[in-house]
Amino acid sequence: MRKYNYRRLIFLVLFAVVLAVILRSTIFASYIVDGESMEPTLYDGNLLMVNKVVYDLKDVDRFDVIVFHANEEEDYVKRVIGLPGDEIEYKNDRLYVNGEFVKEDFLDAYVQASDSRPFTDNFTLKDTTGEQKVPEERLFVMGDNRGDSLDSRSFGFISLEQLVGKVDVKYWPLSQAKLSFGN
C-alpha cells in the first residue's frame, strides 16, 4: 500500500486556490448580463468572463464585445462598431465604415427572424462638433439587439479609459457556453 504525503497535497491545493484568486482578481472579472440589448449574442442572466488586461497588450478591434463603465454605478456590455477615425453610416440595414460596406455576420440569424424592418435605423455618425468621424481615444458601440439597445446612438462615444475589458468567455448556462466573441 502506498502512503500519500498529505502535507504536499494540502500545500499544492492551497497554492492553486491562491493562484486562482490572484489571477481572477487581476486578469479576469466575472459579469452577469442584465438586459436584452446584446441578444442574440448574449442573453439576460448569462455569466461572462472578461479579460481585463488584453487591451494593455493589443488594440481594440471592430466587433469586439466589450464591457465598459457607463457611469459610476453601472457597467455595460456592447459591441465595438467604430474605431478612432472611422466614419460610420447605416443605410438600408447595412453598415458602412469609411464608405465601405462591412458585413455583420453575427446579426444574420437575428435580422432574418426579426419582424421589424429596418433592423437598424438609418443614421450617419456625427459628434457634437458636427464631425463625422469617431474622435481619437474614443469608440462607437452598439448592442446587437438594435431596436432595444441603449448605446452610442443615445449616449455618444465611450473613451478608451472607460474600458473594463474584452468578453472572452460566456460560461453560463453551460448549454450556451462560448469561448470567443468578435471577428
Q: How far is CA 102 from the centre of its chain?
A: 18
- The pLDDT score that the predictor gives to residue 120 is 75
Give the span between the Cα atoms of 82 and 13, in whole angstroms. Answer: 45
pLDDT at 183: 52
In a domain, 1, yes or no: no
Task: Collapse the DSSP code of 124 into the 3-class scheme (helix H, G, I; strand E, B; otherwise coil) and give the result.
Answer: strand
The model's pTM is 0.81
Residue 116 pLDDT: 64
Residue 154: φ, ψ to 5°: -100, -50
> Which residues are identified as catalytic?
37, 78
The pLDDT tens digits of the residues spanning 69-117 come to 999 899 999 999 999 999 999 888 889 999 999 999 888 777 776 666 6
We report the CATH number of the domain holding residue 129 as 2.10.109.10
pLDDT at 176 over 90: no
Distance of CA 145 to the CA centre of its chain: 13
Domain enclosing residue 58, as ranges = 28-176
Domains: count for the chain: 1
Any domain includes 129: yes
**Grid coordinates belonging to 121:** 435605423
107-147, pLDDT tens digit by residue?
Answer: 877 777 666 666 777 677 765 666 679 999 999 999 998 88
How many CB atoms neighbour CB 105 within 10 A? 8
| Cα angle 64, 83, 165; round to 5 | 40
Domain contains 3: no
Burial of 41 (0-12, 13-18, 19+ CB in 10 A): buried
Amino acid 1: pLDDT: 52
Q: How confident is the model at residue 15 (pLDDT cuts 50, 70, 90)?
A: confident
97 occurs within a structural domain = yes
On the question of pLDDT at 177 being above 80, the answer is no
17 assigned to some structural domain: no
Task: Please list the residues that pair with 91 across neighbouring strands.
Answer: 94
- Is the residue at 172 inside a domain? yes
d(Cα 174, Cα 94) in Å, to the nearest integer? 33
